[in-house]
C-alpha cells in the first residue's frame, strides 16, 4: 500500500529480458534499508525487490517485471537512463499525505494538452473510456505514482494543476504532450460507482 507521495526519483540503469524483464534502478535509498521482497512503487507500479546493492555511482535495487505488467503499463517505454518516480511501501505510523494507492495500474492515460498558469503547469489527460466514470472534479488520481487532485473533467478528458514543488520532486517537470502515463483511479471512487450500480439494479 502507498500514498502517492513520491520519495525519490530513480534512474533506470539496466534492462535485461531473461524470462521476465529485469530492471536495475538507481536510487537515493540506503541499500541496507531495502529488504529483498519489499514492495516499491516504480512510476506507480508496485514491484518486488529481488536484489539490491551499491556501486560508486550509488545505491540500486532490482525488480522482475512480468509480461502482463509490461503490456498494461508504460513500463514498455522504459529505457536505460530514464527517470522514474519511486515510493516505498507505507509503514504503520507513516503520515498519510496523499491518498490510498495500491500500485495496481488501471490503464494508460494520454497527455493531450499542457499550458503554463503562472509558475504552475496545467496538464490535460485523456483517460480510457471505461475509467472515465471514476474520475471526478476535486477527486484523487495517481498518475505515474503521484497522488494528484483533479481540477476539471470533460467526458474522458481531465485536468490537473502541477505546482513547482511537484514538478521538482517528481518526473512531472519533464512531461510532454503525447506521453502515456500510468493511471490508477481512487479506490473509494471505484466502490462508490459500484454501489451506485447495485442501487440502480
Instruction: Give residue-wise pLDDT tens across range 82-139.
Output: 999 999 997 765 666 677 888 999 999 999 999 999 999 999 999 999 999 999 999 9
Percent of the chain with pLDDT over 70: 90
46-76 in b/e burial notation, b at 16+ Cβ within 10 A?
Answer: bbebeebeeeeeebbbbbbbeeebbebbbbe
Instruction: Give residue-wise pLDDT tens across range 13-50.
Output: 999 998 899 999 999 999 999 999 999 999 999 999 99
The CATH number, out of the four listed (3.40.50.300, 2.40.30.20, 3.30.413.10, 3.90.1720.10), of the domain defined by the range 107-200: 2.40.30.20
Residue spans of the domains in the chain: they are 8-88, 107-200
Angle at 153 between CA 149 and CA 157, to 5 degrees: 105
Q: What is the pLDDT at residue 8?
A: 97
Asked if 103 and 48 touch (Cβ cutoff 8 Å), the reply is: no
Q: Thinking of the domain 8-88, which architecture would CATH place it in?
A: Beta Barrel (2.40)
Q: What is the pLDDT at residue 157?
A: 98
Neighbours of 180 (CB within 10 A): 16
Amino acid at each position: 500500500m502507498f500514498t502517492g507521495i513520491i520519495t525519490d526519483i530513480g534512474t533506470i540503469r539496466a534492462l535485461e529480458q531473461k524470462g521476465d524483464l529485469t530492471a536495475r534502478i538507481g536510487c537515493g535509498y540506503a541499500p541496507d534499508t531495502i529488504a529483498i521482497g519489499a514492495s516499491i512503487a516504480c512510476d506507480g507500479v508496485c514491484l518486488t525487490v529481488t536484489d539490491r546493492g551499491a556501486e560508486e555511482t550509488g545505491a540500486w535495487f532490482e525488480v522482475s517485471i512480468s509480461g502482463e505488467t509490461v503490456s498494461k503499463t508504460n513500463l514498455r517505454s522504459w529505457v536505460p537512463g530514464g527517470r522514474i518516480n519511486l515510493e516505498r511501501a507505507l509503514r504503520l505510523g507513516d503520515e498519510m499525505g496523499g491518498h490510498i494507492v495500491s500500485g495496481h495500474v488501471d490503464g494508460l492515460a494520454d497527455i493531450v494538452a499542457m499550458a503554463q498558469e503562472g509558475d504552475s503547469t496545467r496538464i490535460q489527460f485523456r483517460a480510457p473510456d471505461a475509467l472515465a466514470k471514476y474520475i471526478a472534479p476535486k477527486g484523487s488520481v495517481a498518475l505515474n505514482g503521484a497522488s494528484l487532485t483533479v481540477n476539471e473533467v470533460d467526458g474522458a478528458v481531465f485536468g490537473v494543476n502541477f505546482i513547482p514543488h511537484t514538478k521538482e520532486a517528481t518526473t512531472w517537470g519533464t512531461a510532454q504532450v503525447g506521453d502515456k502515463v500510468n493511471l490508477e483511479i481512487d479506490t473509494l471512487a471505484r466502490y462508490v460507482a459500484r454501489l451506485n450500480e447495485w442501487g440502480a439494479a
